[in-house]
Chains A and B, each alone.
Chain A
């Protein structure tokens, strides 16, 4: 398979680019930010995502979706990133659906139709500390009656207060650090003894701190197998990591493009600042890094869709490279904009904020570079 988009994928790119630019541009982001609404995203736009078929990309045809892969998911996500579109797309339709694909028929039937129609939103309750450490999950799920009782704290649960269901990773056996003994649960909203405290983040997304004070869930709410949730969590995190990497390629690419345009417009000392070699070389270096990051992300997506054994390595590479590169793009972007780069009026600062959040989401570049070292045995 050549390492570029095929004809069908190129068509999807065209329609995603046009749709998101028209329906979810940066002005849409600003509108929802300034409204200060509790969800931080537009439910109407989420419906439109569903009408476009986007929410069904990773849902099998058998379950009513499109049965496509991570390349297609990434095509949409890159456009989401480029336009800073506030959307539950990554958490719900990508990472959430990847996990639900491993659920039994009943859970699927409960949640997939709502995702396909753009009614349902999922939250991911994985992280327990400020840094992403999914191998150190401590939250307890103790057997209780016919089900389990959940006790512990989660944070960085994006859209947690708006979500119809939270996907929760908890420990049913073993101790912190063990690979076995994790179980993944689907916890409906308004569950008793669950405290959800929303907090607005730097990029205006609304995340929640969720405290489980002995939340009862029944046995049917287990996604996958009891004690074998590590496999489900892996699939969820992999989808989230490659998805957020694709979104960061969009954020970095968008930041680079508006910066290059600014270099062509802004005059100082009687000439366009883009004529100064000091800035040209930095912009060209950024271009080079963006091309590399984009290729690494596409490579990882293709390997995942092929089911290649190399996919896990490349997903870490993609998240690390996209993270560093998008970060370079927004830092260079603000600096090259000069004073106006510090203003709320110009968009470049919004890209910087979004990049910061996406870099942390599903593990930052250091986390993933460390994984690359571990996979290579050093």
Chain B
């Protein structure tokens, strides 16, 4: 047996022994996931146990180095780990912007001290992070951001910044413990005047206000900073070079959002819809035009799954175009929107129910509306197409 086969066997038996049955049921939505953090309330004992067991082995972040809370798996091992998790239907033990976004940026730009301190907390699910990027006047044109950090000194705090301004679309800011935040520290230099700061959301002067969305939910907040003191060492990268960190992190964010295009993994949407629509005498979905759309969609989903696998494999191997996450984000989010349009079309009037018990509190229409943000958040589809055109196709202008 090869080393990798040996590894597969070991992982499989570890997962079988340690993943509680409740954690092998499909996730119903963002509320059903484990986000960790100081104030997180576990849905049940199984969720807590699953996080603890994985964290102890480094399996919340299997491919991070062991000294930072990971399991130190190679690319090939990590792929096997993900496959075995998927085969057994194991839920991810921990969902976190720390893992998906800040972690990779710290691994690349953080000091050794920062890595040990922050990455460990992330891996164990102790601190829940939020992202302070967009501002009311800075959406697609992110680099125009105005939140300002002024250098200051006092006896108690030592060297620090005083941060003033406002962020918007801060996901789960009201539930997060810390924020990674883009702050202008030089008003003269547009690109080189931005710094990447980390601070506690319990710091005096930080306040949040949830935004009610068309889905009826409020996953995003407005976040206000009023003379917030941030110690000088809570910066990632050099002063004024936060845009480099921000761009790198955006790549990971786009990659994460593109994952929505995969849907719930192994199931064909057309097969799922047979429940709602029924089959005709020939064993075909009893709505010929919808069937054709679903067949086309299943082709697109399976093809997208292949490109996702390729993207991950190439990234781990250091291959692939550095701007490729933009393509993945574009394709994945457009596919996910299409998925939910089809779910609504197949659901008919049942899928319109907003509050009933049968509809699980209007899950279908709320999810459908939520997906409309996919091609806006983390860079709009139009911005993604701009980046592909400029950096990959190298078209002139702009």
- Which positions in A face B, CB cutoff 8 Å? 2-4, 260, 263-264, 271-272, 274-275, 277, 280-281, 283-285, 287-289, 291-296, 298-299, 313-314, 316-318, 320-321, 324, 365-366, 368-370, 372-373, 376-378
Whether A292 touches B317, Cβ cut-off 8 Å, given contacts A287-B392, A369-B292, A370-B295, is no
Q: Which residues 345-398 in B have Cβ within 8 Å of A in the complex?
A: 382, 384-386, 388-389, 392-398
Pick the contact of A296 from B271, B307, B313, B397 — CB < 8 Å?
Answer: B307
B269 smallest CB distance to A (angstroms):
9
User: In chain B, what residue has the closest Cβ to A373?
Assistant: B295
* B270/A378 in contact, CB under 8 A: yes
> Which chain B residues border A277 with CB–CB below 8 Å?
386, 398
* A321/B303 in contact, CB under 8 A: yes
Whether A373 touches B300, Cβ cut-off 8 Å, given contacts A283-B389, A287-B388, A378-B294, is no
B95 smallest CB distance to A (angstroms):
25
Scoring A289, A293, A378 by chain B CB atoms within 10 A of each residue's CB, the highest score goes to A378
Bound complex: CA of A94 vs CA of B284, how far in Å? Answer: 33
> Which chain A residues border B331 with CB–CB below 8 Å?
288-289, 291-292
* B271/A292 in contact, CB under 8 A: no
Q: Which residues 283-319 in B have Cβ within 8 Å of A in the complex?
A: 283-285, 291-292, 294-296, 298-300, 302-304, 306-307, 309-310, 313-314, 316-317, 319
* B270/A373 in contact, CB under 8 A: yes
> Which chain B residues border A321 with CB–CB below 8 Å?
299-300, 303
* B295/A369 in contact, CB under 8 A: yes
Closest 3 CB pairs of A and B: A275-B397, A296-B303, A299-B306
> Which chain B residues border A373 with CB–CB below 8 Å?
270, 284-285, 291, 294-295, 298
* A295/B303 in contact, CB under 8 A: yes
- Which positions in B face A, CB cutoff 8 Å? 75-76, 79, 268, 270-271, 273-274, 279, 283-285, 291-292, 294-296, 298-300, 302-304, 306-307, 309-310, 313-314, 316-317, 319, 324, 327, 330-331, 382, 384-386, 388-389, 392-398
* A272/B396 in contact, CB under 8 A: yes
A184 smallest CB distance to B (angstroms):
28
* B304/A372 in contact, CB under 8 A: no
Q: A2-B75, A4-B310, A4-B319 are in contact. List 18 more A-B contacts (CB 8 A).
A: A264-B395, A272-B397, A275-B395, A280-B386, A284-B389, A287-B327, A289-B331, A291-B324, A292-B331, A295-B303, A298-B306, A299-B309, A314-B302, A317-B303, A320-B299, A369-B292, A372-B299, A377-B274
Bound complex: CA of A370 vs CA of B294, how far in Å? Answer: 10
Bound complex: CA of A277 vs CA of B299, how far in Å? Answer: 29
Bound complex: CA of A264 vs CA of B393, how far in Å? Answer: 10
* A378/B319 in contact, CB under 8 A: no
> Which chain B residues border A298 with CB–CB below 8 Å?
306, 310
> Which chain A residues border B309 with CB–CB below 8 Å?
3, 295, 299
Bound complex: CA of A263 vs CA of B314, how far in Å? Answer: 29
* 24 residue pairs A–B, Cβ–Cβ below 8 Å: A2-B316, A271-B397, A274-B395, A275-B397, A281-B382, A284-B327, A284-B384, A285-B330, A292-B303, A292-B307, A292-B331, A298-B306, A299-B306, A313-B302, A317-B302, A318-B303, A320-B299, A324-B299, A366-B292, A369-B296, A372-B268, A373-B294, A376-B268, A378-B279
* A376/B307 in contact, CB under 8 A: no
> Which chain A residues border B395 with CB–CB below 8 Å?
260, 263-264, 272, 274-275, 280, 283
> Which chain A residues border B396 with CB–CB below 8 Å?
264, 272, 274-275
Whether A284 touches B385, Cβ cut-off 8 Å, given contacts A373-B294, A378-B273, is yes
* A280/B389 in contact, CB under 8 A: yes
> Which chain A residues border B302 with CB–CB below 8 Å?
296, 313-314, 317, 372
Whether A295 touches B271, Cβ cut-off 8 Å, given contacts A4-B319, A277-B386, is no
Whether A288 touches B327, Cβ cut-off 8 Å, given contacts A274-B396, A296-B302, is yes
Bound complex: CA of A318 vs CA of B300, how far in Å? Answer: 10
> Which chain A residues border B316 with CB–CB below 8 Å?
2
* A369/B393 in contact, CB under 8 A: no
Bound complex: CA of A298 vs CA of B306, how far in Å? Answer: 8
Bound complex: CA of A289 vs CA of B327, how far in Å? Answer: 9
* A283/B291 in contact, CB under 8 A: no
Bound complex: CA of A275 vs CA of B371, how far in Å? Answer: 31
Bound complex: CA of A280 vs CA of B395, how far in Å? Answer: 7
Bound complex: CA of A226 vs CA of B389, how far in Å? Answer: 56
Scoring B324, B394, B395, B398 by chain A CB atoms within 10 A of each residue's CB, the highest score goes to B395
Bound complex: CA of A372 vs CA of B301, how far in Å? Answer: 11
> Which chain A residues border B274 with CB–CB below 8 Å?
377-378
> Which chain A residues border B268 with CB–CB below 8 Å?
372, 376, 378
A245 smallest CB distance to B (angstroms):
11
